[in-house]
Structure 1
Amino acid sequence: MIRSANRTRRTLPIAGGAAAVLLALSACSSADTASDRGPSSSELSGSVTVFAAASLQESFEKLGATFEKRHPGTEITFSFGGSDSLAAGINSGAPADVFAAASPRTMALVADRKATAGTPATFVRNRLQIATLPGNPDRITSLRDLAKPGLKVVLCDRTVPCGAAAQKALRAGGLKVTPASYEQDVKSALTKVELKEADAAVVYRTDVRAAGDKVDGVDFPESADAVNDYPIALLEHARNPETAKAFIALVRSAEGQKVLSGAGFLKP
């Protein structure tokens, strides 16, 4: 684009007014095209703060590193946690550019306050699994097994998406489980099993996969009734909206979806 404009300027002394008209038209066309494409890689700079559900940690950190490498001069900072706590922070004025929630309900806590710029978009889905101690010594094969006497089970708090999904799955199976504790986010629930402080936890299958050999995972059919959609949105008061939009675009791109699918997330 720049080289074309330079060649046109060099012909001005010969072509006179006609060349000047062509140059003006070329410049307008180039500007329109650049505007359609959005900012180029060289124009992206500065920091972006992303508030994201705890279950997205491994995938988003990977995508953040990719983004920073591709766009020198940018920095992606993450705050991971329970989606409801993150939403409360945003509504209280915490500085953030992007919000990625683990459920439409928690995104609505922000969107209904007019704190999002545009309509949030679902970019992945997630399904529950039972995390057990390595080797599954308690022989847990179903959600019903979590009601066994003496079994120490951990659930996410009912207010966070993984906890709400667990309660929905339990209702679908007509089951009642009294947990040893309710945890504020999915990583905290999983950590209880990793540290052998609990025998089992109902978490996302993405978190079971991320834990590697620290836990085993058990599928259960009721999880099909409690699949969570994950929406992402640019925030209304984003300090660096153009770079934030570019990160969201990476998350939603085929490249981003490949990273997320590799972590066990489902396509929207």
Structure 2
Amino acid sequence: MTRSAAAAVAVAFALTTSLATGLVGCASAGEAGGPASSPSHEAEPTTLTVFAAASLTDAFGELAAHFEAGHPNVDVVLNSGGSTALAQQVVEGAPVDVFASAAEAPMATIVDAGLAIDPVVFATNTLELVVPAGNPAGVTGLADLANPDLRVALCDTTVPCGAASGQLLARAGVTAAPDTLESDVKAVLTKVLLGEVDAALVYRTDVAAAGDDVEGIEVPGAASVVNRYPIAALTDAAAAGTSADFVAFVTGPAGRSVLDDLGFGAP
């Protein structure tokens, strides 16, 4: 995170803490002889379990650390993976407090099951070609993914990055020849980092996160295929109040600062 982004997060927490302290003080004063204020829902140690799309791994690692700094009794436990698989685990009864998806379709699965509370889109993302550092295969554009002589990795079409890749390729009139289909975008990026493939399609935030180990190639038309990321507290959350607080943090100014710094677009 840049120094300016970190400062913005710190200021946001300071303001939130100051306001919360003032409100608690007012509630405690009340009328003479009135009842004492009830304890905070975070008075006891709380574990907050968050399921998040693989492309959110780095972002939610930072967001969790900042949230824990402002909520010292909370331990945020992250589980990252393909959004579709995570949604299925939630529906099957996995103990989860918050779910964040890389597309709206997996969240719809949660909503249809009556398990999500007011999902809200908090970020957007688009695709980019990625190749190993130095671009040894000389990849220049999306059409190269149809070259059978190149080793190509894509996300499986059942996950958000794969569905978006399919849309982008179809609009460009390219029939890709993937050598491997992966279960999430981080698995695709790993293939590139290990030099096991010559090219792949991943989110632009993943290209940025990989740094000098890879090279990104912008794709004309990528801006027309946008992944919208929703987040929601879950109805069966064990830490209901804390779940709502975490969603508010991610969708608020401090969360937006972290997401901006990592390259995620605004809703």
TM-score, length-scaled by structure 2: 0.85
2:32 alignment partner, one of 23, 28, 34: 23
Alignment match, 2:3: none
Describe how 1:26-175 pairs up with structure 2 within 5 A: 43=43, 45-117=45-117, 119-175=118-174
Q: How far does residue 41 in structure 1 lie from its aligned partner after superposition? A: 8.8
Counterpart AA for 2:104: P
TM-score, length-scaled by structure 1: 0.85
Q: Is the 8 A contact 1:44 1:242 kept in 2?
A: no
Alignment match, 1:15: none
Cα separation, 2, equivalents of 1:5 and 1:196: 60
Would the alpha carbon gap of residues 190 and 242 (structure 1) be closer, same or farther in structure 2, given more than 3 Å must change?
A: same
Q: Which runs of 4+ in 1 moved over 6 A?
A: 1-8
Q: Secondary structure at the match of 2:221?
A: helix
Cα separation, 1, equivalents of 2:138 and 2:97: 45
Cα separation, 2, equivalents of 1:87 and 1:153: 27
Bigger shift: 96-105 or 218-227? 218-227
Q: Is the 8 A contact 2:43 2:73 kept in 1?
A: no
Alignment match, 2:247: 248
Rg larger in 1 or in 2? 1
Cα separation, 1, equivalents of 2:25 and 2:88: 50
Q: How far does residue 241 in structure 1 lie from its aligned partner after superposition? A: 0.8
Alignment match, 1:213: 212
For residues 39-90 of structure 1, give each alpha carbon's deviation from its aligned partner in whole angstroms, at most 9, with x where no partner exists. 8696474010000000001110111111112111110001100000000100
Q: Is the 8 A contact 2:147 2:177 kept in 1?
A: no
Q: How far does residue 169 in structure 1 lie from its aligned partner after superposition? A: 0.2
- Structure 1 unaligned blocks of 5 or more: 9-21
Q: Is the 8 A contact 1:156 1:182 kept in 2?
A: yes
Would the alpha carbon gap of residues 204 and 6 (structure 1) be closer, same or farther in structure 2, given more than 3 Å must change?
A: closer
Q: Secondary structure at the match of 1:255?
A: helix
For residues 196-252 of structure 1, give each alpha carbon's deviation from its aligned partner in whole angstroms, at most 9, with x where no partner exists. 011111000111111111111111012122110000001110000111111111111
Cα separation, 2, equivalents of 1:90 and 1:6: 39
Q: Secondary structure at the match of 1:95?
A: coil
Cα separation, 2, equivalents of 1:211 and 1:6: 49
Describe how 1:191-202 pairs up with structure 2 within 5 A: 191-202=190-201
Q: Is the 8 A contact 2:42 2:242 kept in 1?
A: no
Counterpart AA for 2:50: V
Cα separation, 2, equivalents of 1:45 and 1:211: 35
The percent of aligned pairs where both chains have the same amino acid is 44
Cα separation, 2, equivalents of 1:169 and 1:230: 18
| C-alpha RMSD of the superposition | 2.3
Q: How far does residue 188 in structure 1 lie from its aligned partner after superposition? A: 0.2
Q: Secondary structure at the match of 1:221?
A: coil
- Structure 2 unaligned blocks of 5 or more: 1-21
Q: Is the 8 A contact 2:41 2:242 kept in 1?
A: no
